Chain A
C-alpha cells in the first residue's frame, strides 16, 4: 500500500509562517501535488513538484526531496482565509494520485 504522512492539525497566528511536512513511501513517484481544501468545498490546486528543490508561488512555496521521500508546503504571511486543510498527493502511476489524510491549519488573530 501507499504511505503518505502529514500532521493532522496545526495552529498559527495571523502574519506568521507555517510549514506543513509530508513524507511518503509509495510504489511509484511521478511528482507531488499540494491542494488546499476549505471546509465543505472542493480541493483546489496549489503546487506541483517533480524535481528536487523549492518552487515559489507568491505567499506559498513547496519543497521536494525525492531521495528523502519528503516535501513541505510553506505558507508565509498567514491570513485568516488560509484556514483550511492542505492535502499532499503523490502521483504513483500515470493517472493515479495517492493522497495523505490532510493537515488542518487554523489561523488565529
Chain B
C-alpha cells in the first residue's frame, strides 16, 4: 500500500452501538489527524496525534476517542454512537507540524 487507508468505506450503525474507524499510513509520518466533514461546515478536527504515544483534542472531540500505539495506526472510536455523528470521516497524516496533510479516502458513517 502507498499512502493512507481507511476502513470501512461506509457503515450504517444503530444509535448506541460502539464503532471503531481504522486508519493506517505507510509514509512513516509523525503526525496523524481525524476530521469529520459535514455539508456547509467544512472539515473539522476531532483529534490529532503528533507522535506515537501522544494524542490531543481538536475542535469537536466530544463522543470520540483515539489511540496511537504505533506510528502507522490511528483508530477513532465512537463509544456510543448518536445520529449527530452521521458524517464523512477523513484520516490524514503529515510528516510534522506545518507540513501538508495527506488524506485518506474517507469513511461514510450513518447513525440511525
Interface, chain A (partner B; CB < 8 A): 4, 30-31, 33, 41-45, 48, 50, 87, 89, 91, 94-102
Contact status of A101 and B33, CB under 8 A, knowing A45-B100, A95-B50: no
Within 8 A of A (CB), among B25-75: 31, 33, 35, 40-45, 48, 50, 56, 58-59
Category for how many chain B residues contact A: 20 to 34
The reply to whether B105 and A91 form a contact with Cβ atoms under 8 Å apart is: no
Q: With a CB–CB cut-off of 8 A, which chain B residues contact A97?
A: 33, 43, 45, 101
Interface centre among A44, A50, A101 (most CB of B within 10 A): A101
Contact status of A95 and B90, CB under 8 A, knowing A43-B103, A87-B42: no
Contact status of A45 and B58, CB under 8 A, knowing A95-B33, A101-B41, A101-B42: no
The reply to whether A30 and B98 form a contact with Cβ atoms under 8 Å apart is: yes
Q: With a CB–CB cut-off of 8 A, which chain A residues contact B35?
A: 99
Interface, chain B (partner A; CB < 8 A): 31, 33, 35, 40-45, 48, 50, 56, 58-59, 90, 97-98, 100-106
The interface residues of chain B, by DSSP majority, are classed as: strand
Contact status of A96 and B40, CB under 8 A, knowing A31-B98, A42-B104, A42-B105: no
Q: With a CB–CB cut-off of 8 A, which chain A residues contact B101?
A: 33, 45, 97
The reply to whether B98 and A45 form a contact with Cβ atoms under 8 Å apart is: no
The reply to whether B98 and A94 form a contact with Cβ atoms under 8 Å apart is: yes
Contact of A44 (CB < 8 Å), options: B33, B56, B58, B103: B103
Tell me the nearest residue of chain B to A85, going by C-beta.
Answer: B42
Q: With a CB–CB cut-off of 8 A, which chain A residues contact B33?
A: 95, 97
The reply to whether A99 and B106 form a contact with Cβ atoms under 8 Å apart is: no
Closest beta carbon of chain A to B93's beta carbon, Å:
11
The reply to whether A42 and B43 form a contact with Cβ atoms under 8 Å apart is: no
Closest beta carbon of chain B to A92's beta carbon, Å:
10
